Amino acid sequence: MTRGGQFFVSPGGQFRVSLDIGPKLYVDLCDEAWRAIEIEGRGWRVVAEPPVFLVRARGMLALPEPERGGQISELKALLNLSREDDFKLIVGWLLSAFRPTGPYPLLALTGEAGSAKSTAAKTLRKLIDPNASALRSAPKDERDLFIAASNAACLIYDNLSSIPPWLSDALCRVATGGGFATRALHTDSEEALFEVSRPICLTSVGDVIARSDLADRAIFVALGPIADNDRVPDEVFAQRLDLATPRVLAALLDGLAHGLAEKESRAPSRLPRLASFIAWTAACEGAFWEGGAIQEAFHRNTMEAVDSVLEGDAVLVSLLALLEQCGGVWRGQCMALLERLAVFAPDGARRERSWPKNPQTLSSRLTLAAPALRKKGIRIERTRDAAARTIAILSERQ
């Protein structure tokens, strides 16, 4: 194998980041000299001949050359953020993206038109995986999604208006780590197999994540409006970005080195679904903040996301209304629950395709929503005897 062209593919190779025994992280600068950044607990340095195989795909661009002495706060000036929690979570997402294996949290950027969502997404990608096609439209099918994930270290889908159920499920698999198989082109029996786990960022005007399983894997950041007198021309912002990113990248590398030094001694007090994300950022955050800063911000963000999911699901809105009338407790068969929920359904909800038409569909919806409901103090219990299956909805706050 030679390094004379765009591609250098080796069995077991990784895009951008690879883990060596030690442990050490190697980040491909993707420059013509094939240099990489070596990161370990004692610090980081640029090396001319990294001892790992890294993969380059078409469209990958060079990372900025890191400049020592940068502060992570310099990134905040490039993003239209109004809350410190949001900034901590974005830094955590970036630190997580440098891990060579998932699972990774999904970052959802929302805000009205003109709130610089796309600019923020491109800024973040420039720090971890610059690409000639940085922002993409939503994939047409699972095949497109997994092919894109197999050719990049990060995925950014811009200006989404909705997320259909198939895409929500597929994004869960890519963020957590999953596979996709399809018939190989020009063959009758051979399969093309894709096994990937990638950081994902989505931008949208409104909240497009409606299913609780994807919301459980997501970080939600809302960008505020920008006054006309605060805007700058694109070329001015590009100059600021080019000046700041080498220093911000160096600050992130400092955080990664701190994480490698501390990861064996740092033990978070609680681990939510994205346990690997919390454990890794807990080790890294000491380079920037007091211990537990990102974990606490993530917990507050998760509770806000739960409220958004519950408010956006007509079935769950109806369920909460039923519980309020019943004093926080309801027991019976699933068919009876479906009939009772219909009484509390918002106007027009029962005519929508998403409204469950039979007890089996309702039962599946409740199973899907169970994690979000538990966070609000509502649990679902199922029992079965010779006569029938019974479901109980119980609010711990009653």
Asked if residues 163 and 208 have their Cβ atoms less than 8 Å apart, the reply is yes
- The pLDDT score that the predictor gives to residue 248 is 97
Phi-psi region of 361 (alpha: psi -120 to 50; beta: other; left: phi over 0): alpha
Give backbone dihedrals phi and psi of 265, rounded to 5 degrees, phi first: -100, -15
Cα–Cα distance between 388 and 167 in angstroms, integer? 35
User: Model's pTM, two decimal places?
Assistant: 0.84
- The pLDDT score that the predictor gives to residue 270 is 66
- The pLDDT score that the predictor gives to residue 78 is 94
Cα–Cα distance between 109 and 203 in angstroms, integer? 5
**Closest CA relative to residue 80, chosen from 211, 230, 181, 244:** 230
Cα–Cα distance between 220 and 22 in angstroms, integer? 34
Neighbour tally for 214: CB within 10 Å: 24
Cα–Cα distance between 388 and 236 in angstroms, integer? 68
Angle at 363 between CA 359 and CA 365, to 5 degrees: 115
Task: Report residue 196 as tokens.
Answer: 């990937």
Cα–Cα distance between 331 and 311 in angstroms, integer? 23
Dihedral angle sign, alpha carbons of residues 63, 65, 68, 72? negative
List the chain pLDDT tens, one digit each, 398 residues: 333 333 222 333 466 787 766 789 999 999 999 999 999 999 999 999 998 888 888 889 999 999 999 999 999 999 999 899 999 999 999 999 999 888 999 999 999 999 999 999 999 999 999 999 999 999 999 989 988 998 889 999 999 999 999 999 999 999 988 766 665 555 555 666 667 889 999 999 988 988 888 988 999 999 999 988 888 899 999 999 999 999 999 999 999 999 999 987 766 666 667 888 999 999 999 999 988 899 999 989 988 888 887 888 899 999 999 999 999 999 999 999 999 999 999 888 888 888 999 999 999 989 988 888 888 899 999 888 767 788 999 997 65
Task: Report residue 81 as tokens.
Answer: 């953020």
Q: Are strands 36-40 and 24-28 parallel, antiparallel or unpaired?
A: antiparallel
What are the chain's domains? 73-308 (3.40.50.300), 313-395 (3.90.1150)
Helix, strand, coil % over all residues of the chain, rounded to 5: 40, 20, 40
Within its chain, how far is the Cα of 181 from the centroid? 23
Cα separation values, 61 from 25, 348, 380, 381, Å: 19, 49, 49, 52
DSSP assignment letter at 274: -
List the beta bridge partners of residue 395: 378
